[in-house]
Chain A
Amino acid sequence: MADKQLNVISFCGSLRKGSFNRMVMNALPGLAPAGMSIKEAPPFTELPLYNFDIQNSTGFPAPVNTLADAIRAADGVIFVTPEYNFSLPGGLKNAIDWVSRLPNQPFAGKPIALQSASPGPLGGGRVQYDLRRMMVFLDALTLNKPEIFIGNCASKLDDKTGELKDETTRNFIKQQLEAFARFIERHGGKG
């Protein structure tokens, strides 16, 4: 299948500067197959905490529409997220809650890939299954395999340069992104 240009956006579930998940996310463009560009989604930090009364009075805050438009325009979305309390960070969940309320909800039919990094051994083993379930409700299309759970991530990342140095992890991610490209080409498609 010929490589066509795929425009993918990525979300980092952690907000801190030194985030391991952010380091992984930053490594993605360099690991992507030819023709796949991966850019970070617009930020979700400016979103107020979801309250229907806001939606119903002053309408959807501007950052919600910006975020939704970016998702709609993308060929696919990659979530790179830590696990907070065995599940999704509240900030990222809040962003999903907001965009899910839009008419023409942007995740419907959208190809999704998941990655998580953690200093502990499971590498985010619980959060991804929770996120999969949320994506089912939103009628997204989540890539099944390969799964990317980066455990003991501190040893795999260079904390000075932020580089993902572990070769095995880099190869798994390359495989996943290649599979994601094929997945988008086969099952994605605007309409």
Chain B
Amino acid sequence: MAHDGNLDVLVVCGSLRKRSYNAALARMLPKLAPPAMKLRTAPPFDQIPHYNHDIQDSTGFPPEVTTFAEAIRSADGVIIVSPEYNWSIPGALKNAIDWVSRMKDQPFKDKPVALQSCAGGVLGGARMQYHLRQSLISVDAILFGRPEILVTFSAKKFDEKTLELTDQPTIDIVTQQLAAFEKFMRRVNGQ
């Protein structure tokens, strides 16, 4: 938690591949964020075992889970940038959420969360976002509403080689969302 008037925001990317558009968007965010919003990348969640209560009960929460949870807990807010797999949330990301949801002092509770998604087609990851909202309600997060960031036809909007976000309307709306998310966090965190 930042004590200097700044807001500490954790960015979670739902795709694991190197040339991911969602990862590329996540990397852009510091350039587009308002000055008081400090962004940091979440610890990896790709080595977490599949959720199994027997593990939790025997050897306890895996270290990657507690690290991930602590990163969420200590943040003023979370931005999840994720692709849509099979009309829904990527299993790896969902698995990470499943694990941390089982902890005492569950990290998403009362946490402001904003969503973004990039996709190849016309809906821009919308189905995933509405499922993710559903799961985040289950963990009692405080969901930021609008503007929504649904990046459609991503191949046209990111530079083919560098993956830099080049589409100006997208840049503008993401900038708007981050500014609005800052205000939202201050309001709901009681500042």
Which positions in A face B, CB cutoff 8 Å? 14-18, 44-45, 48-53, 56, 84-97, 100, 126, 130, 133-134, 136-138
Contact = CB atoms under 8 A, between A and B. Distances in A.
B16 A53 contact: yes
A100 B92 contact: no
Interface in B15-61: 15-18, 20, 45-48, 50-54
A93 B51 contact: no
A136 to B, nearest CB: 7
B93 interface: yes
B87 A50 contact: no
Contacts, number: 123
Interface residues of B, number: 36
Contact of A126 (B88, B89, B98, B134): B134
Contacts of B97: 85, 90
Nearest to A15: B52
B88 A90 contact: no
A94 B134 contact: no
B85 interface: yes
Contacts of A100: 85-86
A95 B87 contact: no
Given A15-B52, A51-B46, A91-B52, 17 more contacts: A14-B53, A18-B54, A49-B46, A49-B48, A49-B95, A50-B90, A51-B16, A51-B92, A86-B135, A86-B137, A90-B93, A91-B91, A92-B91, A93-B85, A130-B131, A134-B87, A136-B87
B98 to A, nearest CB: 5
Given A53-B16, A133-B87, A90 B92 contact: yes
